[in-house]
Amino acid sequence: MPASRRTPAEPTPLTGSWAFVDLETTGGNPARNRIIEVAVVAVDDGIVVDEWARLVAPGRPIPPSITGLTGIDDAMLADAPAFSGIRDELLERLRGRTVVAHNARFDYGFLRHEFRREGITFRAPVMCTVRLSRALYPGVRGHGLDALIRRFDLPLDARHRALGDARAALSFVDAATRDLGAASVTRAIERQCKGPSLPPQLPADALEGLPHSPGVYLFYGEDDALLYVGKSIDLHDRVRSHLAGDHRTHTATRIAHRLTRIDWQETVGELGALLREARLIKQLRPLHNRRLREAGAQVVIAVAEDADGYLAPAIVPARAPDAWPGDRWYGPFGDRRSARRELGRIADEHALCRRRLGLERGRGTRPCFAYQIGRCRGACTGAEAAVRFNLRLTEALGPRRIRPWPWGGPIAVTEESPDGSHGEYHLIDRWRYLGSTRTEADAHELASDPPETPFDRDHYRLLVRWVERHPRSVVPLDLPNGIPD
């Protein structure tokens, strides 16, 4: 048994029983891949009381990339037991302890899958040292184990081996305690581990199984009325935070008082969660989602030349199924009043004719009062030529221009799960979100027979931002546009 890094007299944030765990596996997907090595460092009240590690035969060849990373090859596992041969020893070491791991979602997910194959439902409180690092050092970039080892000069005997990495995670907690003091680290651990007190009407197991994954969560009240839909890149943390009152507002309090059931839908990544949240809110119209709920009133300013060659703005609904954000769409706006307000603003700021902008009646064949006081340049009399007027109007509206669709047909925006084990294809055509698939082939199939999908300003805004920030995630599909011109 190794000597502890601390003496019993020193204050520790690790009061109670902890199991620092690390796994080596054949890949990143717990449903498809298997454990090849497991280590547990048991800590009681800050003192290491046991270290245990086992190689595990996965029943399949080790991928060369894994051997390259870990040094574990098929020959080393020739005499190793299968998981069934070590499960009881492992369970004994985990029982009654909080499982601690660096990126705990990965290790905990693998443990649950392996135990489930043995017919055992494994559950334990979990603490993640990546999240602990983020909480303790919020301004610092890099919370991976390599970054922490470098930053804190952590002792390391075998990186990418289970026992070496489990010890390194414990060393990080020790280093942070020396750096920030036991009280700070204790508070951060408590915030992570302490379950919120649930509203009394919510069943005690309401949060069970809530994953540390991206997705959307749905809060229901009495008579299964949908109260609220939200999204997060970590459903578990977000819902707990809701219930713990971390974002306490009047609305949040009302929701918590009425909450009787929680449901959730996992997504592969953040974009999937954002898209699904916006769609579910419009479809299901939860009582407390005001911001994304208004689906029907979206409008744009569409400009087209009139008989005189002057551009004439018209406020048109954006959500008609065959409406298409052509080159001369501006907005989108939540309602007609907002669009008119914008036209009024640019008329005032750019001395543009309010009649031609559709804000006042009449065509004006003679200059009106606005001309006399210098608030227009006389488009009605030809004093301002159409080409000049059009240029000024286009420039004034420019910042609100809906982005032209730069691709020749539909695209898929790809996302990978945080552990790289699976992905998702979000099918987009002319800024309309048509749906998500798990494979590119399915995305092609969906694109070849797209559902009728109206333009949606919330999807538009988040998709524009997303493809700007993640240009490499775009996969153009070799298909013509599915929406008629």
> Which amino acids are annotated catalytic?
160
Q: Can you tell me the distance from the alpha carbon of 448 to that of 19, in angstroms, rounded to the nearest whole number?
A: 51
Identity of the residue, 168 or 370, whose beta carbon is nearer to ligand SF4 in the bound complex:
370
* Other Cβ atoms closer than 10 A to 368: 17
Q: Choose between 378 and 409: whose C-beta lies nearer to ligand SF4.
A: 378
Q: Is 148 exposed, middle or buried (0-12, 13-18, 19+ CB in 10 A)?
A: buried
Number of H helices and E strands in the chain, helices first, is: 15, 15
DSSP string across 393-447? HHHHHGGGBPPP--SSS-EEEEEE-TTSS-EEEEEEETTEEEEEESSHHHHHHHH
Determine contact, residues 407/397, Cβ cutoff 8 Å: no
Q: Which residue's CB is nearer to ligand SF4, number 127 or number 380?
A: 380
Q: Which of 421, 406, 418 is nearest to 467 (CA)?
A: 406
CB 426 within 8 A of CB 433: yes
Q: How far is the CB of 339 from ligand SF4 (least distance, A)?
A: 20
Q: How far is the CB of 354 from ligand SF4 (least distance, A)?
A: 6
CB 308 to ligand SF4: min, Å: 12
Quick count: other Cβ atoms within 10 Å of Cβ 244? 17
State which residue, 1 or 307, has the beta carbon closest to ligand SF4. Answer: 307
Give 190 or 306: the residue with its C-beta nearer to ligand SF4: 306
The helix (H) or strand (E) run that includes residue 317 is strand 311-317
Residue nearest ligand SF4 (C-beta atom): 364
Give least dist CB 396 to ligand SF4, A: 15
The distance of closest approach from Cβ of residue 391 to ligand SF4 in the complex, given in angstroms and rounded to an integer, is 15
Roughly how many angstroms between the first and final C-alpha of the chain, as a whole number? Answer: 73
The residues that touch ligand SF4, with contacts defined as CB under 6 A, are 353-355, 364, 367-368, 370-371, 376, 378-380
Q: Which two tokens stand for residue 329?
A: 């769409």
Q: List strand residue ranges (DSSP E) for 114-200, in order.
A: 126-128
Structure tokens at 469: 């920030």
**Nearest approach, Cβ of 312 to ligand SF4 (angstroms)?**
12
Q: What is the dihedral of CA 137, 138, 140, 141, to 10 degrees?
A: 120
Return the number of the residue (83 or 310) whose C-beta is nearest ligand SF4: 310
